[in-house]
């Protein structure tokens, strides 16, 4: 069960952040509404939410997941692969000091974004992407192995981040889209298969008794219900415009 979640209010500078999508400019008011609904949904899942104030200096910093990876026992401060985001790690470390006494660090030339890390019980999958390089992934693997975890490094073909296309739903079950549908590293899992048209909904998060999914993906909702999983749906349009999904917006532990 998760007890704590850290989120960060998006600042006005969000609209100038990084994106590869052509979905248009985010609407700041709508963005704030969507973020507030995200916080409410987390509270409904029974977690204590720590909400950090916006920082205009880092337009993408609402995506707190990329600057750290958290486990029950320790936190890993990452070395985010995008230059404009790298300084986000300092604020996150300061906040995590309230919760953790044990820290590990990804260091240059290694880079790693938390969006490239998927945890399944005592095992991690680490994607090599535009943001996470082989050195960063290997450092991560070495760190978690010293802590009694194991890790598999997965070379991404198309996805932006590993968790853009995959989520762990508990009970040996994953939601998988695109290159992960038939990926050998995930062949042993039960799969909720997400077709290309619904790919955005593969980035969903299981928080205690609920799975939070983006709104507008009835087929995904139905498939999850078929496995006995109760969903909360959230409008995510303004985050999607900047390549963000549900997992990116929080650190859960
Ligand atoms: C970025 O390009 O870094 C942000 N606009 C989106 C980050 C999304 N984070 C994630 O998938 N973990």
The per-residue pLDDT for range 107-161, each reduced to its tens digit, is 999 999 999 999 999 999 999 999 999 999 999 999 999 999 999 999 999 999 9
Gap between the Cα atoms of 173 and 225, Å rounded: 13
Query: Is 248 among the residues known to form the active site?
Result: yes
The secondary structure element, H or E, covering residue 230 is strand 230-234
Using DSSP's 3-state secondary structure scheme, residue 74 falls into coil
Q: Give the model confidence (pLDDT) of 10-59 as tens digits.
A: 999 999 999 999 999 999 999 999 999 999 999 999 999 999 999 999 99
**Has this prediction a pTM greater than 0.90?**
yes
- Alpha-helical segments (H) within 23-117: 28-44, 88-96
Q: From the CB of 19, is ligand 1 less than 6 Å away?
A: yes
In sequence order, what are the residues at sequence separation of 6 or more whose Cβ sits closer than 8 angstroms to the Cβ of residue 101?
A: none
Which residues, 6 or more positions from 234, have their beta carbon under 8 angstroms from its beta carbon? Answer: 34, 37, 38, 41, 212, 213, 214, 215, 246
Predicted complex: ipTM over 0.90: yes
18 ligand 1 Cβ < 6 A: yes
**161 annotated active-site:** yes
Question: 8: which residues sit within 8 A by CB, 6+ positions away?
Answer: 51, 52, 53, 54, 55, 61, 62, 64
The rounded distance, in Å, linking the Cα atoms of 167 and 247 is 9
Counting every residue written for the chain, the total comes to 253
- Protein residue whose Cα sits closest to atom 12 of ligand 1: 115
């Amino acid at each position: 069960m998760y007890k704590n979640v850290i989120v960060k209010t998006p600042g006005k500078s969000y609209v100038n952040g990084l994106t590869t999508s052509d979905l248009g400019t985010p609407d700041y008011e709508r963005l704030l509404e969507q973020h507030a609904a995200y916080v409410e949904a987390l509270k409904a899942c029974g977690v204590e939410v720590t909400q950090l104030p916006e920082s205009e200096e880092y337009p993408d910093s609402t995506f707190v997941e990329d600057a750290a990876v958290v486990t029950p026992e320790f936190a890993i401060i990452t070395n985010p692969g995008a230059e404009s985001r790298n300084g986000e790690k300092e604020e996150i470390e300061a906040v995590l000091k309230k919760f953790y006494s044990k820290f590990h660090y990804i260091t240059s030339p290694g880079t790693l974004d938390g969006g490239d890390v998927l945890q399944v019980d005592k095992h991690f999958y680490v994607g090599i992407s535009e943001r996470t390089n082989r050195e960063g992934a290997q450092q991560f693997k070495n760190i978690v192995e010293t802590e009694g975890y194991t890790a598999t490094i997965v070379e991404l073909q198309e996805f932006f981040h590993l968790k853009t296309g995959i989520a762990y739903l508990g009970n040996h079950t994953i939601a998988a889209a695109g290159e992960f549908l038939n990926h050998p590293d995930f062949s042993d899992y039960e799969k909720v298969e997400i077709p290309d048209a619904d790919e955005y909904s593969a980035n969903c998060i299981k928080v205690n008794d609920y799975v939070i999914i983006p709104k507008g993906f009835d087929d995904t909702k139905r498939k999850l219900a078929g496995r006995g999983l109760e969903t909360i749906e959230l409008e995510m349009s303004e985050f999607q415009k900047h390549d963000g999904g549900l997992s990116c917006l929080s650190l859960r532990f």
